Amino acid sequence: MAGHKALQRKLGNTIALVTVCVLVCGIAFAGAIFLLLPGKARTAEPVPPPLTRLSTPLSPAPGVKPVPVGYACPGYSGLQKDIPLSMVLNDTFAWGKNPPYKVGNGAGDITWGSNPYNDPSWHLWVHSLRWLGNGIDAARAGNATAMKHTLAIIQDWVRDNPFPWKANPSAAESTMHRTNVLICARQAVLTGLHTKTLNTKTLPAEYKWLDDALLTHAQYMIDHWSGNRNHGTDESIALFGVGCTFNREDLMRKAVGRLNSAVVQSIDAEGTTNEQSVGYAGFNYELWGRAARFVRACGIDPGPAIDARRKLLAEWMALATKPNGELFQIGNTTQKKADNYPGTPWEFVWSKGKSGPRPERRTGIFKGGYIFGHTGWGETQAFGEESAYSIRFGQEKKYHGHDDHTSINYNWHGHDVLIDPGYYGYKKGDLQDWAPSQAAHNVMTIPTATGKLVKTRLVGSASTSNSDYYKLADEPAEGVKRTRDVLVLKDPDVVVALDRGESGSEQRYETLWHLAPGQTVTVQSPTTAVATGGGVRTHLFQIPFGQMNGTTTVDQGKSNPAQGWYLPDIFAKTPAPVVKFTQTGQNARILSVVAPAKTGEEVSYTTRSAGTNFFVDLTVGTQKITVKVDPDGRLTRMN
């Protein structure tokens, strides 16, 4: 007890500068994602500037509910939806697709080490306490039984998990989530006491443990800030919440200083986030908006940086959204529709061109490693009839990224043609290993060589009104050089790619084309495969080029090793075909054409040479085009 009191006295002292950080990532998409990354030493933080108080009350935008003054309970990220009050009162937890599991004795005494499904995410969300949401809400509404039982569980967590939680990664990882739950519980107590304000310095003596726990959580987040990623942002918001709750200017100042330091690193000057994931980019847009709202609700000016970077990110997200309204599923991204953020280009894409400002460009090359392109924004045809693509390059894989450099995803007239198969969360297994690997993406792989994470260079690019060209290069495996030339065409909407590999020893080179689930693929010859399904008939040609001869095969729904799957979220999997164009030798030149067409339209090609140039004459329905291949691999549309 004496040690505990000494700790509380320490928490009241001036906050020390942080010298150590544990880099971790947090939640996204209704609390579904968890990852623990290695720690990294940090230098001392700069002293944050003084707080600037808002001089006028908040004025919400038209149609937006007024924000409560003070730090309002931020909710439970949807985790409570599958855990009704009856389960809370019975100490029963549920998450994902696993059956509910009783984690306590029914009286609020929880076995915090429970992990019956051997799932790190499941264990983390137990320790987040977000599953108590319906209990807290019922307590706020005057349910005395819910109040007593829910507080008993929270107090049991505090008692059984002594600070600083070094022996329990789940307890440490979920600190900022749990902090918000403690704030929500505190507000429920105040409501029961008929206290109208969200912020007060004291509770009755019987609830002192709750205030002590909040200050302990604040100290942990001060000492273990995760930096300029979404987990660090969540921590700063929660730290600010404690400061606002107790009117502690030192805590609020620390949090606001961190937010302003992190946002310009989290979202770069072009709007790209550092997460290497489109899904996490969308999550960060909402997260940073939440940060600014909560700071302003407590009467503090968050500064201009958050709003400015979110504006850039909204433009980025518009380009990263397909004509069917879904996000490109790049990195750790579930299948997800775009959200609506009124007044931004993202609203325009969400509404499929019916409202909001039209994006100012149809293509974007971002130094953060992304290329997005659209055939248009519905100017000359229906919005849903446009096509769109993404290409990855840049820094090596980290955080929520995949080993997907040079990968092409392609949506044709609102239909997914070339897909990223998604990801499988953090539960161990061959799908978890496969999903972020080169083999799960639309790239040239070298399975006979030892792969490595590398930086991929964008060597050149050029766009016209009806074609976009890109050249990329890297060394994706030991002793192997790889280049990819990509030409994306409009009218007809077709993808052409030339993959070249060079090695000092014989290798097997495989260019993979992952197709949407539900396609039936027929290999018609060593150079041709046809995929049919959903009103689309996609022709995939491995066009003979030079002296290179290859094979065409199809994998689907394979295990050990995994191949040919689609993962819409971290709980589901469905077989999906992948077409392999394979060549063997020291060098390879795989020239691919991916040509979607309406059912019944004929697709064919012929080739010819003229001097050192190679030409592909392609027919799609009634449209005919010619593509020139220069000796250096450059692809050019000739008509």
Query: Model pTM?
Result: 0.89
pLDDT of 326 reads 97
With cut-offs at 50, 70 and 90, classify the pLDDT of residue 48: confident
pLDDT of 49 reads 84
Domain end point (choices 581, 597, 613): 597
What letters, b where the CB count within 10 A reaches 16 and e where it falls short, cover 484-511?
bbbbbbbebbbbbbbbbbbbeeebebbb
pLDDT of 166 reads 79
Residue with tokens 């097997």: 508
CATH number, domain of 568, equals 2.70.98.70
| Whole-angstrom distance, CA of residue 266 vs CA of residue 23 | 13
Q: 254 in a domain, yes or no? A: no
Q: State yes or no: pLDDT of 427 exceeds 80.
A: no
Q: 370 in a domain, yes or no? A: no
Q: 540 in a domain, yes or no? A: yes
64-75: per-residue pLDDT in tens? 555 557 899 999
| Whole-angstrom distance, CA of residue 170 vs CA of residue 189 | 27
Question: Which runs of consecutive H residues, i.e. helices, occur in 489-546?
Answer: none
| Whole-angstrom distance, CA of residue 79 vs CA of residue 31 | 6
Segment 123-134 mean pLDDT: 97
Domain end point (choices 224, 259, 274): 224
pLDDT of 27 reads 33
433-479: per-residue pLDDT in tens? 999 999 999 999 999 999 999 999 999 999 999 999 999 999 999 89
99-121: per-residue pLDDT in tens? 999 999 999 999 999 999 999 99
pLDDT of 61 reads 54
| Whole-angstrom distance, CA of residue 360 vs CA of residue 367 | 18
Q: State yes or no: pLDDT of 386 exceeds 50.
A: yes
Q: 444 in a domain, yes or no? A: yes
Segment 354-364 mean pLDDT: 96
Segment 625-631 mean pLDDT: 97
Q: 323 in a domain, yes or no? A: no
Domain count, the chain: 2
% the chain with pLDDT above 70? 90
230-282: per-residue pLDDT in tens? 999 999 999 999 999 999 999 999 999 999 999 999 999 999 999 999 999 99
First-to-last C-alpha distance (Å) of the chain: 82
With cut-offs at 50, 70 and 90, classify the pLDDT of residue 368: very high
Domain that holds residue 119: 71-224
Domain end point (choices 184, 205, 224): 224
Distances in whole angstroms, Cα of residue 521 to Cα of each of 489, 515, 555, 556, 559: 23, 9, 10, 10, 19
Q: 31 in a domain, yes or no? A: no
Neighbours of 299 (CB within 10 A): 17
525-583: per-residue pLDDT in tens? 999 999 999 889 999 999 998 776 899 999 999 999 999 999 999 999 999 999 999 99
Phi, psi values for residue 120, rounded to 5°: -60, -30
490-527: per-residue pLDDT in tens? 999 999 999 999 999 999 999 999 999 999 999 999 99
pLDDT of 426 reads 77
pLDDT of 38 reads 32
The answer to whether 629 and 611 have CB atoms below 8 angstroms apart is no
Q: 573 in a domain, yes or no? A: yes
389-425: per-residue pLDDT in tens? 999 999 999 999 999 999 999 999 999 999 999 998 8
Segment 49-56 mean pLDDT: 85
- 3 vs 283, residue with greater confidence: 283
With cut-offs at 50, 70 and 90, classify the pLDDT of residue 57: low
Q: 58 in a domain, yes or no? A: no
The mean pLDDT of the chain is 90
Q: Which of 567, 588, 633 is nearest to 476 (CA)?
A: 588
